[in-house]
Amino acid sequence: MTHSPIRKVYQGIADIRQMFRMFDRHAQRPNRWESDDSPLYRNEWFEIDQASNDYMFEILPPLFMRGEMFAMREFLTGSITSIFFTLRIDGQMRYFHGYCDLADKGSPARLRDAIVERETRPVRAMTREERLEHIWSSTHDDYRGYAGERFAERDRGQRTILFYGGQHGTTLKLLDDLTDVEMAVKLPVHLRYLPDPIAA
């Protein structure tokens, strides 16, 4: 089994419209469904509002319910499905969606623990990876895609994003190659200057 890091892919609380957009952030990927796409989704998570959580609970009978979580009956790919969490964090009820691999029995509990750990940090902070994932998640499909033939062979298939470079015009850049300044331009104002987490 390929292990995917647990990662927060959207900052803020997604409403129902945003939640449905987020369910398949990788819809434009090349060669869709031709290989095992599970690593793309496994361990992605983001916060949702209560109305979205309630809506998803009422769509179909859950595959299972365990305390603060329930799983969707329909699988996205392979053994990957949506898990919804209702968690009390700092005295407040909050709601989250994540993709777990049910072939790994400990996956839902590990994801829950990672969400709680991430959301109880004493100072709001974002890693570089979280900044890039938020930019990808919040960019319209027309302005994001995957590197094709105009890129070096080693970069083909990597995520790309349109970037307005002032007098240089609009350019297509690899998402991972955005500089800190370019990321700040792409982030909403309230997320631009959050500190990086301090390593212990």
Of 190 and 58, the structure prediction assigns the larger pLDDT to: 58
pLDDT by residue (tens digit) across 86-130? Answer: 999 988 999 999 999 988 889 999 999 999 999 987 656 788 898
CA-to-CA distance for 37 and 78, rounded, in angstroms?
8
Tell me whether residue 196 is in a domain.
no
Domain count, the chain: 2
Q: What is the mean pLDDT of the chain?
A: 84
26's CB contacts (< 8 A; 6+ apart) are: 37, 40, 41
Q: Which domain covers residue 88, as residue numbers?
A: 7-119
Task: Work out the number of other CB atoms within 10 angstroms of the CB of residue 80.
Answer: 24
- Of 18-22, 58-62, 113-117, 187-191, the poorest mean pLDDT is in 187-191
158's CB contacts (< 8 A; 6+ apart) are: 146, 147, 151, 174, 175, 176
> For position 195, what pLDDT does the model report?
57
> For position 79, what pLDDT does the model report?
84
> For position 88, what pLDDT does the model report?
94
Are 51 and 91 members of one domain? Answer: yes
Are 110 and 175 members of one domain? Answer: no
Buried b (16+ CB within 10 A) or exposed e, 139-154: beeeebbbbeeeeeee
**Highest-scoring range by mean pLDDT, 16-20, 127-131, 180-184:** 16-20
> Per-residue pLDDT averaged across 18-40, rounded?
79
Are 166 and 70 members of one domain? Answer: no
Sign, CA torsion 161/137/12/126: negative
pTM above 0.75, yes or no: yes
Sign, CA torsion 134/137/143/148: positive
Are 76 and 162 members of one domain? Answer: no
Please name which of 90, 76, 87 lies closest in space to residue 43, comparing C-alpha atoms: 76
% of the chain beyond a pLDDT of 90: 34
Are 22 and 110 members of one domain? Answer: yes
Answer for the pair 160, 147: CB distance below 8 angstroms, yes or no: yes
pLDDT by residue (tens digit) across 138-177? Answer: 888 888 889 888 888 898 888 999 887 667 777 888 999 9
